[in-house]
Chains A and B, each alone.
Chain A
């Protein structure tokens, strides 16, 4: 499903060059639930961004579901992401002026893979699946952190992507809510979706299939 070969990422900073990823070789199979674990600044978000096509490698190649994504233009990449990747952020990043259901419908509007009249129905169904169906018509500001993250997960599933990426999805939640969110991801993986989450929390062993440890831009343990 995911193949990274000799991926390096270097940023130019005022203090000089900074290597965020160094010689990364990584293969992730379909349906796996993978946790990328590392401290803050270790490179786990950069690695996730590489897989999502949010960032491009300075060297090496990234292939997701057979597509060499670094060769795609920004626009093609966005369209590809809309169909193939669901992304969940640490701070939920729901659009504040759209309701929960509308936030979920947004990727469908972008990708147009689902018929217009089906979109709302599907959004509500996804919200129900993650347990916030009753909040469908509420604006994000009126939802709790956990509820917002559930909406964000529903949004990630909007176009039924084969791959869901989550960057610190529980970093901003209390432990009970965090556990429930992780269970949702587990459930997704059980249904065949490849799930990769980046986290600095070590106690996710109970839900993941595979743990990848990263430190100073290098993979330590796969």
Chain B
């Protein structure tokens, strides 16, 4: 190691407390980046691998009935490697006196020979015997039941039947039961018969033989299979081709983690500011040394090499600290995400490219941050550098701003000093404020986004004037249902709707047919008008549908295929639907209904539960079986869970950014103290007690904290709106009804003051302990 490297290392060692702070701050940024990047690598790999291990169906065909003969015929096609018949049926489940919960039942013919979309037994019995039901492991919380307990199950056309929960399974391909508020159950054909349903299968899970990830190929094979099924006299009701090889949540997870990665990079940029502060101060304190080195033959490049060497030390040290931290963080994040997405992680192995990228970014960031201070510091001409008088001399008082500052403080010299001192090193102040303000902005954004989300959801659910939705398995005349409704006291208003799927070209969309003069749904019309009595071919589209096709505009005509019929519809209105990524068109109801919307006199959960039971009974008396139902609060629960995730993410972000800000302030204060050591010696010589010195420095830190709070308060509104809109846009493709949370300002004020007092405590304590002689002798 030559003397240049030795100098680089020892200078840092001499400033080890400050160096440690900066290393910690950079490490925090790199750790966050490493944690998220590792999680991205692990989760996308494990999610897809775990999903692929189940042999997910290349296509799911809903048919009128599927038997072994049909399966054998399909398997004759060499392009089909496997085909398995199943049935999916919706119903309701009840444990003990609990209210009915929505249930999706999967009927499997042979649990011993599942080859496509495999299930993984978790605990209890396998396979389920007749009269038994297995529950998806994530759905136990929704079912509020345990293995061994008896539950009552009813399907759309069957009877109420007690079943025993005999075990749990893991069904990787299903959306998280807690989020969907649905119970997934698994039974055999005999149990299906016990439930009063016809024991037949009506779904074919197809696995293509080759090019499994080629969607076009899958479509070609499925088209052949479809033709074969039809040629054998069967009806194909629907074809679903999931994204080949990708877990349904793979993209969402990727987007979320990439958003988090960019946050990690942001923290790294902020920690780079600390490097700028540290190296600027270090170079300023070494101006004369730089002059000497130049005088004895050091070129600018050679001298710059010393300081870049120091930045390299910072980067390497930070990477060494942050990689284990990042791995720990990534494991925690992976576990959380795996729990959230209901899948298992078999290996936490981090790919080599992650280490490489983290090391590169971690080492490059301080080097980039060092570029300006080093370039500037080494530019000082030798003569100027050699005649440097030291650091304590700054030109405070030269500008009009300084003179204006000199009028602040009044009789309180300590406050005056604190305010004026904080403005002495303005570039450093600006950089420090950047990190602290960023922390404040994230915190305020977290609170504002949260309250805006609540506001938006309140608004969204406020437009829904119904308290309960009841879905039926079959369409009915509304008059039939009306009787059951009339016999149920406590119902304020009831409307029958028809919800189904439509096709616009190859694209699916939701269709809601409702009374044109509906009083249970208010449209948030942003263009055109709502449906009106007398409308026959009018359609109101939601923002998601309008966003999908630029031709979907008010005044235009659109041809839709609904239930096999094609018809042209006139777009009369565009309705805003926040948090609804599903394209939906609202049309006037004609004829039968398949769901019911109900508003109650007393919409509290207990009353709703009682009324629902009574309504179910009255509907049964009319020969109408409810397939599924959900209350307004149940519908909102899933939204709240998604919102909670964004909120938690923002709060963690603000804590990390605030941490970097605090470390930044600590570095700044320690540099300020170092540079003014002689000045403090003078003050001590003039009679200032150590306590006064201590107070003065803490007050200076608090002035900086207050300044950062003020800037954050000013910027909070636009930034919060931007952050909220961007996040919700990514997740739900919609905007927010923005609302500002004033209490956030008070909380962040207290946090800022506490954080700045805490950050300046140590430098202040050290300064107050320096003896007068030491302080005066400092050069």
Pairwise interchain contact B297-A110, C-beta atoms closer than 8 A: yes
Taking a contact as CB atoms under 8 Å apart, the answer to whether A52 and B295 are in contact is: yes
Flag if B293 contacts A97 (CB, 8 Å): no
Q: Which of B289, B294, B299 meets A95, CB within 8 Å? A: B289
**Which residue from chain B places its CB closest to the CB of A78 in the assembled complex?**
B299
What separation, in Å, do the CA atoms of A97 and B301 have in the docked complex?
20
Q: Could you tell me if B298 and A110 are in contact, using CB atoms closer than 8 angstroms? A: yes
| Residue from the list A74, A86, A158 in contact with B300, Cβ < 8 A | A74
**A102 contacts chain B at the CB level, 8 A cutoff:** yes
Asked whether any CB of chain B lies closer than 8 Å to the CB of A175, the reply is: no
Kindly supply a per-residue 1/0 record for chain A positions 44-59, scoring 1 wherever the CB is within 8 Å of any chain B CB and 0 otherwise: 0000010010110000
A49 CB to nearest chain B CB (Å): 6
Q: What B residues does A49 contact at CB under 8 A?
A: 382-383
- Mask, B286-314, CB within 8 Å of A = 1, is 00110011111111111000000000000
User: Which residue from B6, B288, B382 sits with its C-beta under 8 Å from A98?
Assistant: B6
Is B7 in the interface zone, CB < 8 Å from A? Answer: yes
A-chain residues with CB within 8 Å of residue B13 when the two chains form the complex: 97
Given contacts A54-B386, A109-B2, A116-B2, contact A95 B292 (CB under 8 A): yes
B3 touches A98 (CB 8 A): yes
| B265 CB → nearest A CB, Å | 34
Asked if A87 and B296 sit within 8 Å, CB to CB, the answer is yes
Q: Report chain B residues within 8 Å CB of A83.
A: 297
Contact partner, A109, options B3, B14, B288, B294, Cβ 8 Å: B3
In the bound assembly, the distance between CA atoms of A29 and B2 in angstroms comes to: 36
Take A54-B386, A89-B292, A97-B14 as given contacts and tell me if A82 and B298 are in contact as well, using a CB distance cutoff of 8 Å.
yes
**A52 to B296 alpha-carbon distance, docked (Å):** 10
B159 at the interface (CB under 8 A from A): no
Residue contact B288 to A93, C-beta cutoff 8 Å: yes
For the complex, give the distance between the alpha carbons of A102 and B9 in Å: 13
The answer to whether B293 touches A110 (Cβ under 8 A) is yes
- Nearest-Cβ distance from residue A46 to partner chain B, whole angstroms: 9
Report A-chain residues with C-beta under 8 Å of the C-beta of B292: 89, 93, 95
Q: How far is the CB of A167 from chain B (nearest CB, A)?
A: 9
Chain B minimum-CB-distance residue to A79: B299
A70 CA / B145 CA spacing, docked (Å): 91
Q: Please, how many angstroms separate the alpha-carbon atoms of A75 and B294 in the complex?
A: 9
Contact present for A105 and B3 (CB under 8 Å): yes
A78–B383 CB distance below 8 A? no
Measured in the bound complex, the distance between the Cα atoms of B1 and A102 in whole Å is 11
Note all chain A residues with C-beta closer than 8 A to B11. Answer: 97
Q: Which residues of A contact B6 (CB under 8 A)?
A: 97-98, 102
Establish whether residues B296 and A82, one from each chain, have CB atoms under 8 Å apart when the complex forms.
yes
A79-105 CB contacts (< 8 Å) to partner B: 79, 81-83, 86-87, 89, 93, 95-98, 102-103, 105
Interface of A is mostly: helix
B6: shortest Cβ distance to chain A, in Å? 6
**Cβ of A170 < 8 Å from any Cβ of B?**
no
Give A156 to B299 CA distance when docked, in angstroms: 16
Given contacts A93-B292, A95-B289, contact A78 B3 (CB under 8 A): no
- A98–B286 Cα gap in the complex (Å)? 14
Q: Note all chain A residues with C-beta closer than 8 A to B409.
A: none
Does B4 sit at the interface, judged by CB under 8 A? yes
Is the C-beta of B691 less than 8 angstroms from some C-beta in chain A? no
A155 at the interface (CB under 8 A from B): yes
Q: Is A217 an interface residue (CB 8 A)?
A: no
* B3 & A81 in contact (Cβ 8 Å cutoff): no
A contact residues around B297 at 8 Å (CB): 78-79, 81-83, 107, 110-111, 159
Q: Which of B7, B296, B302 contacts A81 (CB 8 A)?
A: B296
* Contact residue among A81, A102, A103, A116 (Cβ-Cβ distance under 8 Å from B295): A81
Q: How far is it, in angstroms, between the C-alpha of A79 and the C-alpha of B383 when the chains are bound?
A: 16
A106-B3, A109-B3 given as contacts; is B381 within 8 A of A74 (CB)? yes
If A54-B383, A74-B300, A95-B289 touch, does A109 touch B295 (CB 8 Å cutoff)? no
Report B378-422 CB contacts with A as 1/0, cut-off 8 Å.
Answer: 000111001000000000000000000000000000000000000
Question: How far, in whole Å, are A55 and B2 apart by their CA atoms in the complex?
Answer: 29
Cβ-based interface call for B144 (8 A): no
| Cα–Cα, bound, A5→B300 (Å) | 29
Determine how close the nearest CB of chain A comes to the CB of B132; give it in whole angstroms. 77
Please, how many angstroms separate the alpha-carbon atoms of A86 and B295 in the complex? 8
Which A residue's beta carbon lies closest to that of B779? A91
Q: How far is the CA of A155 from the CA of B6 in the complex (A)?
A: 17
| Cα A85 to Cα B383 with chains together (Å) | 16
CA distance A38 to B293 in the complex (A): 27
* Given A82-B296, A110-B299: A98 touches B7 (CB 8 Å cut-off): yes
Name the B residues within 8 Å of A55 (CB-CB). 381-383
Judging by beta carbons under 8 Å apart, are A54 and B302 in contact?
no
Least CB distance, A152 to chain B, in whole angstroms: 9
Knowing A95-B7, A98-B6 are in contact, say whether A107-B383 is a contact too (CB < 8 A): no
Q: Does B10 contact A (CB under 8 A)?
A: yes
Known: A74-B300, A87-B295, A95-B292. A109 touches B382 (CB 8 A): no
Q: Inside 8 A of B299's CB, which chain A residues have their CB?
A: 75, 78-79, 110
Residues of B within 8 A of A109 (CB): 2-4, 302
Q: What distance in Å separates the Cβ of B7 from its nearest Cβ neighbour in chain A? A: 6
Given the complex, which residues of B lie within 8 Å of A107, measured CB to CB?
296-297
B286: nearest residue on chain A (CB-CB)?
A: A95
CB nearest neighbor in B for A165: B295
The proximity string for A residues 152-166 relative to B, scoring 1 for CB distances below 8 Å and 0 otherwise, is 000110110000000
In the complex formed, the residue of A with least CB distance to B381 is A74
Of B297, B299, B381, B386, chain A has the most CB atoms within 10 Å of the CB of: B297
Asked whether A78 and B7 contact (CB < 8 A) given A89-B292, A109-B2, the answer is no
CA distance A192 to B297 in the complex (A): 21
Contact bitstring B1-28, A, C-beta under 8 A = 1, else 0 = 0111011001101100000000000000
The one of B288, B296, B381, B386 in contact with A110, judged by C-beta atoms closer than 8 angstroms, is B296
The interface bits of chain B over 692-720 (1 if a CB of A lies within 8 angstroms of the residue's CB, else 0) are 00000000000000000000000000000
CB pair A75 B3 closer than 8 Å: no
Taken together as a complex, chains A and B put the C-alpha atoms of A87 and B386 apart, in Å, by 12
- Interface 1/0 per residue, B208-223 and A, CB below 8 Å: 0000000000000000
Task: Check if A102 sits within 8 Å of B3, measured CB to CB.
Answer: yes
A89 to B561, CA, bound (A): 92
Q: Which residue of B lies closest to A103 (CB)?
A: B3
A97 touches B7 (CB 8 A): yes
The winner among A82, A110, A155 for most chain B CB atoms within 10 A is: A110
Residues of B within 8 A of A52 (CB): 295
Contacting residue for A106 out of B288, B293, B300, B381, CB 8 A: B293
Across-interface contacts of B4 in A (CB, < 8 A): 106, 109
Which residues on B sit within 8 Å (CB–CB) of A156?
A: 296
Closest 8 CB pairs of A and B: A82-B297, A97-B10, A110-B297, A93-B292, A54-B382, A55-B383, A78-B299, A107-B296
Task: Pick 16 A–B contacts, CB within 8 A, sort by A.
Answer: A52-B295, A54-B295, A54-B383, A55-B382, A82-B297, A93-B288, A93-B386, A95-B7, A97-B11, A102-B3, A103-B3, A105-B3, A106-B4, A106-B296, A110-B297, A158-B296
Known: A79-B297, A87-B295, A93-B289. 10 other contacts (CB 8 A): A49-B382, A78-B297, A82-B296, A86-B296, A89-B386, A95-B289, A96-B14, A98-B6, A98-B10, A102-B6
